[in-house]
């Protein structure tokens, strides 16, 4: 296993500041996912850790050893790329064994390691096949096998599933997570797919414009985002955002929207936001926190809202229903038969305890 410490890391490509002073600590055996939109610096960071990119300033330590000036081959790092990079005229066994042969491992040890990796990845029956005879998922398993035979202290994955279709991606996510559980190795995984990040990670590091926007356990980022960017990036469908004004609403505060609809905030939020009465804010609520209203007295922090459905998107067990609030399209995640078609009126219930309020000038959650 490996402990990674990154301090004040900077990387420029001419005038482009790709990585901006990042500090990051990755514990032994942790599965860390670097996630963010294209151009946020996640692959650059991964390649810098591997030694494939020179850094402009800062330090990268692996197990308390500064590796800034070490060649990639001397860092004891195994990397799996988006492109499988298999040798087309070598069979699966020889592709997996290639790196070991280059390092002059004994033939018996090579055979034992390749066999063990093939058993781990369930590709024993593929060892004599050529890459062109494999599916995309099988090729990706071979690429991972080539990495794990090295028994490196650190495994790096650079968007390894992006070339696979949705069903294969789902299956490979499970296999990679199980692989981490079996090997117990430190793994750093780069993706732009927030579903991959949420399902795989022990810890997510969400990047924006070369800096860390927020890091932590997946549910911490999902339930307690620090900014509109984090709240909007994680979650599918994305969180609903609406402009509002903080107003006094009896003993509590409320959010008043452009059509004069006011939603009461729960007591805890009212106390926290009391000094901001009269200010413009952005209201954020996830689709799953807008549900059909229940009969009887409302629980604290829940509000009812009568809406007309504009659009329905059935997915099987769930239906995503859209309606307008203050002229803005809002989406709710309902059960399959809660609403059948556009034009229906339905009373919905919003869990304001799970909603967030954002300062529009800073885009930070308040």
Would you kindly state where each structural domain of the chain is located, as residue ranges? 4-226, 240-365
Beta-bridged to residue 280, according to DSSP, are 245
- Segment 25-63, tens digit of pLDDT: 999 999 999 999 999 999 999 999 999 999 999 999 999
Which residues have a Cβ under 8 Å from the Cβ of 9 and sit 6 or more positions away? 19, 21, 22, 23, 24, 45, 48, 55, 57, 58, 59, 60
Question: Which pLDDT tens digit goes with each residue over 275-323?
Answer: 999 999 999 999 999 999 887 667 778 999 999 999 999 988 899 999 9
Pairs from 71-75 (Cβ < 8 Å, separation ≥ 24)? 75/50, 75/51, 75/154
d(CA 170, CA 168): 5
Q: Which CATH class is domain 4-226?
A: alpha beta
Is residue 327 left, alpha or beta, with left meaning phi > 0 and alpha meaning psi from -120 to 50? left
pLDDT tens profile 215-273: 999 999 999 999 999 999 999 899 999 999 999 977 789 999 998 899 999 988 988 99
Task: In whole angstroms, give the CA distance from residue 52 to residue 42.
Answer: 14
The per-residue pLDDT for range 175-217, each reduced to its tens digit, is 889 889 988 999 999 999 999 999 999 999 999 999 999 999 9
State how far the Cα of 164 lies from the Cα of 186, in Å rounded to an integer.
Answer: 24
When pLDDT is cut at 50, 70 and 90, the band that residue 332 belongs to is very high
Q: What is the pLDDT of residues 10-34, one digit of tens each?
A: 999 999 999 999 999 999 999 999 9
- The pTM of the full predicted model, rounded to 2 decimals, is 0.90
Q: Where are the alpha helices (DSSP H) in 106-238?
A: 107-121, 136-148, 166-183, 194-200, 218-223, 228-233
pLDDT score, position 167: 79
Q: At what angle do helices 136-148 and 166-183 cross, to 10 degrees?
A: 20
Q: What 3-state class would DSSP assign to 275?
A: helix
Report CA dihedral (152, 133, 102, 150) to the nearest 10 degrees: 10
Res 161: pLDDT: 85
Whether residue 331 has pLDDT greater than 80: yes
Residue 123, Cα to own-chain centre: how many angstroms?
Answer: 28
- Per-residue pLDDT tens for 120-176? 888 999 999 999 999 888 898 899 889 888 888 999 999 888 877 877 788 888 888
**Which CATH architecture does the domain made up of 240-365 adopt?**
Beta Barrel (2.40)
pLDDT score at 1: 66
The pLDDT value given to residue 53:
93
Mean pLDDT of the chain: 92
Q: Can you give the pLDDT at residue 306?
A: 92
Q: Read off φ and ψ for residue 43, nearest 5 degrees.
A: -70, -35
Residue bearing tokens 């060649």: 71
Q: Does residue 68 contact residue 21 with C-beta atoms inside 8 Å?
A: no
């Amino acid at each position: 296993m490996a402990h990674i410490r990154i301090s004040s890391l900077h990387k420029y490509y001419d005038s482009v500041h790709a990585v901006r002073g990042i500090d990051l600590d990755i514990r032994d055996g942790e599965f860390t996912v670097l996630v963010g939109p294209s151009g946020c610096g996640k692959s650059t960071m991964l390649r810098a850790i591997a030694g494939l990119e020179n850094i402009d300033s800062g330090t990268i330590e692996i197990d308390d050893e500064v590796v800034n000036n070490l060649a990639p081959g001397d860092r004891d790092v195994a990397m799996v790329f988006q492109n499988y990079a298999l040798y087309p005229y070598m069979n699966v066994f020889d592709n997996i064994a290639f790196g070991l042969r280059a390092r002059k491992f004994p033939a018996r040890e090579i055979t034992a390691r390749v066999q063990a990796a093939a058993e781990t990845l369930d590709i024993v029956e593929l060892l004599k096949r050529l890459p062109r005879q494999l599916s995309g998922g099988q090729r990706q398993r071979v690429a991972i096998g080539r990495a794990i035979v090295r028994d490196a202290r650190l495994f790096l994955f650079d968007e390894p599933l992006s070339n696979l279709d949705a069903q294969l991606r789902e299956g490979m996510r499970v296999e990679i997570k199980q692989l981490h559980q079996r090997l117990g190795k430190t793994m750093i995984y780069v993706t732009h797919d927030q579903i991959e990040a949420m399902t795989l990670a022990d810890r997510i590091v969400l990047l924006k414009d070369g800096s860390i926007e927020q890091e932590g356990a997946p549910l911490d980022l999902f339930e307690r985002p620090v900014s509109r960017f984090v709240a909007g990036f994680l979650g599918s469908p994305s969180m609903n955002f609406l402009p509002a004004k903080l107003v006094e609403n009896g003993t509590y505060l409320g959010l008043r929207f452009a059509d004069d609809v006011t939603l009461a905030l729960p007591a805890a939020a009212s106390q926290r936001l009391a000094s901001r009465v009269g200010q413009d804010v952005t209201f954020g609520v996830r689709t799953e926190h807008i549900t059909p209203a229940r009969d009887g007295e409302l629980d604290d922090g829940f509000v009812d809202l009568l809406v007309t459905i504009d659009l329905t998107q059935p997915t099987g067990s769930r239906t995503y229903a859209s309606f307008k609030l203050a002229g803005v399209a809002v989406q709710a995640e309902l059960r399959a038969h809660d609403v059948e078609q556009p034009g229906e009126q339905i009373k919905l219930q919003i869990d304001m305890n799970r909603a967030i309020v954002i300062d529009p000038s800073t885009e930070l959650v308040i």
